[in-house]
Amino acid sequence: MTRYFAPLAYLQQGWADNVLLTVVDGHFSQIETNAKATQADVILDGPILPTVANLHSHAFQRLMAGKAEIAHHPEDSFWSWRELMYKTASELTPEALHVIASKLYIELLKGGFSQVGEFHYVHHQPDGTPYANSTALGEAIFNAGQSVGMGVTLLPALYQYSGFGQQAPNASQQRFIQSSQAYIEQQQAYQALLNAYPQHQLGLCFHSLRATDFDAIKHVMASLHHGQPIHIHIAEQQKEVDDCRAHSGKRPVQWLLEECPVDHHWTLIHATHLADEEIQAIAKSGACVGICTTTEANLGDGLFPALAYEQAGGVWGIGSDSHVSTSLQEELRWFEYGQRLNQHKRNRLYSAQQPRIGDHLFSKALQGGNQACGVALGLAEGCRADWMVWDNTEPFIYASQTQDLLNRWLFGLNVNPIKDVYVAGQKVIENGHHALENEINTAFGKLLRQSFI
């Protein structure tokens, strides 16, 4: 048992003074407010907040950040970006993926995240031949998370086709492809590993409606679903919506909701292009929408209809997806700014209970990330003992009124105030640094020099 004393902490009900947190076996066993510190307590020297679950990650894409920003064609889009992504995926070895994920997860810890939903679809060797160990690449992700202190919700993705109507996969997709039965067996192999990774989770995942079919989805669900998270890319691009309608006569979200019992276990990644009826239906289902603000901007996807979705009571969380940004602060800031730009009005995302934009965005991201990743993060009894400590030498932190702190962080600070990060009660970031980062940065730099992308 260890007790930590925070002069200021962001609890479920808001900011509280003089908070004493008791940690037992990596979880909060007791949280007291208006407490007094003793000599035996660890004193935290700045405001503390819960870290958040990043619900959508493709770790390997961190390697290509900044490489796709060259104009080759006036119609550059997601679909032209995807060709560079395929080249990056073709390079991956388990060893390289471990380095990339380790580098990324340190960056995400510094950015305010302590759990990541790893949407993992590179399963095989470059020619499509399965590894002798079918979990080789996923284990690289598990091991990276464990070595740096990041919790991982691994989401191995079923990927079968190149397009709607069971179109044959192309050569660049061979590393992704497997049958639903092979996927079930791979999931069982991952499940057998989990005891060795106490901070990791396992979920089900379907790449997209264009890359699988409902027979396969239902086969997997019948065989494996027992309450774990379920993720799917959906309606990210207008072309995907158009192709889906041409194939099925229905929009992707409409079709999914008609065919599958979508509920709070599901996370719909992006869901950018929605009809009004789909907005209402997702909210009613209890599913979470995975917003990936900076990636959606980078790819030119479009803007999620957040105001209508929030008014319908919808749940959402934040992911960094392709990792052109690794900052919770930036993802939330631009989620709000995108809505302002779209509607030509200020202060778009709030509630009557939380009129301060920063508080509302942070609380919703925390809630949605927990639901999507199957974890319990937050400064509350029973939750995993994950938190961040803000730098109390920053004037925007120490000189601001307490109720303004989250707004100051999101809309006033252009530096990262996160000083220390704890995961399961263990300090993994100290004074802005990770114990392994120099070693990992050297290995990552070597990969960048060797990369042919």
Mean of pLDDT values over 87-105: 97
β-bridge mates for residue 373, sequence order: none
DSSP states along 376-408 = -BSSSTTSB--EEEE-TTSHHHHSS-GGGHHHH
Q: Rounded distance, CA 342 to CA 129, Å?
A: 46
Catalytic residue among 58, 120, 233, 270: 270
β-bridge mates for residue 321, sequence order: 57
- Give, in order, the Cα–Cα distances in Å from 174 to each of 73, 168, 178, 321, 359: 27, 10, 9, 22, 44
| Token pair in block for residue 331 | 């993802």
Query: For residue range 254-295, what is the model confidence (pLDDT) as tens digits?
Result: 999 999 999 999 999 999 999 999 999 999 999 999 999 999
Q: Rounded to 5 degrees, what are φ and ψ at 431? A: 55, 40
DSSP states along 325-390 = ---HHHHHHHHHHHHHHHHT-S--S--SS--SHHHHHHHHHHHHHHHHHT--BSSSTTSB--EEEE
Query: For residue range 309-368, what is the model confidence (pLDDT) as tens digits?
Result: 999 999 999 999 999 999 999 999 999 999 999 999 999 999 999 999 999 999 999 999
Q: Rounded to 5 degrees, what are φ and ψ at 167? A: -65, 140
Query: For residue range 136-191, what is the model confidence (pLDDT) as tens digits?
Result: 999 999 999 999 999 999 999 999 999 999 999 999 999 999 999 999 999 999 99
Q: Is the pLDDT of residue 452 over 80?
A: no
Please state, rounded to an integer, the average pLDDT across all residues of the chain.
Answer: 97
Q: How confident is the model at residue 194 (pLDDT cuts 50, 70, 90)?
A: very high
Per-residue pLDDT at 74 = 77
Domain boundaries, the chain: 2-49+379-437, 52-373
Q: Is the pLDDT of residue 80 over 90?
A: no
Does the structural domain 52-373 have CATH classification 3.40.50.10790? no
Q: What's the CA angle centered on 158, arms 156 and 161, to 5 degrees?
A: 145
DSSP at 199: T
* CATH number for the segment(s) 2-49+379-437: 2.30.40.10
Q: Among candidates 332, 338, 334, which has minimal Cα distance to 305?
A: 338
CB atoms within 10 A of CB 445: 12
Q: Among candidates 83, 165, 172, which has minimal Cα distance to 122?
A: 172
442 burial via Cβ count (<10 Å: 0-12, 13-18, 19+): exposed
β-bridge mates for residue 20, sequence order: 5, 32
Instruction: Give start and end residues of each alpha helix (H) in 92-213.
Output: 94-110, 136-148, 180-193
Q: Which is higher by pLDDT, 72 or 428? A: 428
With 0.85 as the threshold, say if the pTM is over it. Answer: yes
DSSP states along 57-105 = E-GGGGGGTTSS-S---TT--HHHHHHHHHHHHHH--HHHHHHHHHHHH
Query: For residue range 216-231, what is the model confidence (pLDDT) as tens digits?
Result: 999 999 999 999 999 9
357 half-sphere exposure, CB direction, 13 A CA radius? 20
To the query of whether residue 321 is one of the catalytic residues in this protein, the response is yes
Q: How confident is the model at residue 211 (pLDDT cuts 50, 70, 90)?
A: very high
Q: Rounded distance, CA 54 to CA 373, Å?
A: 8
Q: Is the pLDDT of residue 453 over 80?
A: no
Catalytic residue among 124, 233, 301, 321: 321
| Token pair in block for residue 161 | 């086709």
Look up residue 340 and give its amino acid.
R
